[in-house]
């Protein structure tokens, strides 16, 4: 079995998808599977010549994983051609593209030729639903995998013609849980500090309210993103720089160490799939305070049993944090139940077994096919012209709206869609 991933590269990226990709790739390689990862690199600065690879690439190669990388090109078509060139060169028996439209477009072209691949829906996100519409048809050869039952139900509601598997993420459970502590009571946020999806403004407002109300609270935001500067400014203006800190990106080992020092994790997202940061925190006995949204979150957080569910009002979230800090019995009950749930239903071993079973089935499909899909013709990809404009947004020419404006528009559109969805559910 030869399993190829396609992903993007970003130093110290702790996003859920990246954590999952690297974890599964390493586990497969250690288990004797031949694995490769094709990265499309988008440097923050112009690419130097010669280009110095991120340390991650060397680490992966030392773990037996073949690593290939190309810079992001000027057009979607060129990125698709690079991905197809990688497939023709390495010739996997199973392909797992992630996140980028070029990877999915290449997978659909290869799938139509007979290469088995899996389209993994990591989030209840407009971008993923657009991806399913564009590349999830049965004649494009994909298997659909959802990380939560909510996403599978939403997929069915959208009248997909395809059955889908549910394979939740899995995480390791630390030997010892985080202890209860009030001096200080530590709260963490871990992930992309964005307004789009993650609603960084709600997170920081809730933390400011909570820290103003109690001098024993300390908050740490782990990660980075375009909203970080605004959040830091708000904290400084509130005079709470000593209580609320920002670590920037951290490697996974340091993230876990921070979690084991914390008592609560705060999440206020507009939409999610099954947040790995939340799973990792719950595995450590850190109690979640999370916004109640249609997602995989209610599959994890049972109100007042494994955590606390709150509204989108920062004052509500702040009250929940203060309640946990003031009620050791409630905290201990939620901490123990959260840790038990993850150990029983979301373990790394359990998730890996399900993925291994799926991949072995796809590998058999490849080997029993009447002909090899290779070589895949990369010249005829005219279908890209029929894709939704959002698939081309990474390739906008200079003079078009700025990145910040595009982020604002995407946030507003996503927020509007989710509000409409909630209203329809309340008033069928």
State pLDDT tens for residues 57-80: 999 999 999 999 988 888 888 999
In this structure, the number of other CB atoms found within 10 A of the CB of residue 59 comes to 13
Whether the bond into 243 is cis, omega within 30 of 0: no
User: What pLDDT does 365 receive?
Assistant: 95
Write out pLDDT tens, residues 235-292. Answer: 999 999 999 999 998 888 888 899 999 999 999 998 888 899 999 999 999 999 999 9
How many Cα atoms occupy the beta-carbon half-sphere of 201 within 13 Å?
8
pLDDT > 70 in the chain, percent: 88
User: What pLDDT does 404 receive?
Assistant: 47
Write out pLDDT tens, residues 208-225. Answer: 999 999 999 999 999 998
Write out pLDDT tens, residues 5-54. Answer: 999 877 667 788 888 999 999 999 999 999 999 999 875 555 555 567 78
Q: Is the pLDDT of residue 191 over 80?
A: yes
- Name the pLDDT band for 424 (thresholds 50, 70, 90): low
Q: Which helix (H) or strand (E) holds 328?
A: helix 328-345
Q: How far apart are CA 230 and CA 227, in angstroms?
A: 5
User: What pLDDT does 420 receive?
Assistant: 63
Q: How far apart are CA 42 and CA 9, in angstroms?
A: 7
Write out pLDDT tens, residues 147-181. Answer: 999 999 989 888 666 789 999 999 999 999 999 99
Q: How far apart are CA 182 and CA 79, in angstroms?
A: 51
The CA radius of gyration of the chain, in Å to the nearest whole number, is 22
Q: 3-state class of 83 per DSSP?
A: helix
Q: How far apart are CA 221 and CA 8, in angstroms?
A: 23
Q: Is the pLDDT of residue 138 over 90?
A: no
Q: How far apart are CA 307 and CA 291, in angstroms?
A: 11
Q: Show the DSSP H helices in 114-170 as ranges.
A: 126-135, 149-157
Whether the bond into 282 is cis, omega within 30 of 0: no
User: What pLDDT does 253 receive?
Assistant: 82
Q: How far apart are CA 65 and CA 291, in angstroms?
A: 38
Higher pLDDT, 73 or 326: 326
Which DSSP symbol is given to 428? Answer: -
Contact partners, residue 239, CB within 8 Å, separation at least 6: none
Q: Chain-centre distance of CA 37, in angstroms?
A: 17
């Amino acid at each position: 079995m030869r399993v190829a991933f396609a992903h993007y590269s970003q130093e110290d990226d702790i996003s859920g998808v990246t954590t999952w990709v690297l974890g599964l790739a390493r586990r497969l390689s250690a288990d004797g599977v031949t694995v490769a990862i094709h990265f499309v690199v988008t440097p923050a600065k112009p690419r130097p010549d010669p280009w110095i690879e991120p340390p991650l690439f060397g680490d992966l190669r030392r773990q037996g994983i073949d690593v290939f990388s190309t810079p992001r090109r000027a057009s979607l078509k060129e990125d698709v051609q690079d991905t197809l060139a990688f497939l023709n060169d390495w010739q996997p028996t199973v392909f797992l593209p992630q996140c980028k439209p070029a990877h999915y477009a290449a997978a659909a072209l290869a799938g139509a030729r007979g290469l088995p691949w899996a389209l993994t829906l990591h989030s209840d996100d407009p971008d993923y639903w657009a991806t399913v519409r564009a590349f999830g048809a049965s004649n494009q050869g994909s298997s659909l995998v959802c990380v939560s039952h909510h996403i599978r139900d939403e997929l069915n509601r959208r009248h997909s013609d395809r059955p889908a598997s549910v394979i939740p993420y899995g995480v390791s459970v630390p030997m010892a849980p985080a202890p209860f502590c009030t001096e200080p009571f530590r709260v963490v946020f871990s992930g992309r500090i964005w307004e789009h999806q993650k609603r960084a403004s709600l997170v920081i407002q809730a933390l400011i309210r909570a820290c103003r109300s109690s001098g024993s609270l300390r908050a740490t935001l782990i990660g980075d993103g375009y909203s970080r500067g605004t959040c830091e400014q708000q904290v400084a203006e509130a005079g709470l720089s000593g209580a609320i800190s920002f670590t920037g990106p951290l490697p996974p080992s340091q993230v876990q160490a921070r979690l084991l020092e914390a008592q609560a994790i705060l999440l206020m997202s507009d939409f999610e799939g099954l947040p790995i940061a939340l799973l990792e925190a719950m595995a450590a006995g850190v109690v979640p305070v999370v916004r109640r949204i249609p997602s995989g979150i209610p599959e994890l957080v049972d109100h007042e049993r494994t955590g606390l569910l709150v509204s989108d009002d920062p004052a509500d979230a702040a009250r929940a944090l203060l309640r946990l800090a003031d009620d050791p019995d409630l905290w201990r009950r939620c901490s123990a139940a959260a840790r038990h749930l993850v150990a029983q239903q979301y373990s790394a071993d359990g998730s890996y077994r399900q993925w291994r079973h799926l991949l072995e089935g796809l590998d058999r499909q490849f080997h029993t096919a009447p002909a090899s899909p290779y070589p895949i013709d990369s010249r005829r990809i005219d279908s890209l012209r029929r894709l939704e404009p959002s698939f081309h947004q990474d390739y906008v020419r200079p003079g078009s709206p700025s990145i910040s404006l595009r982020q604002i528009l995407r946030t507003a559109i996503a927020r509007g869609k989710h509000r409409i969805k909630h209203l329809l559910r309340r008033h069928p």
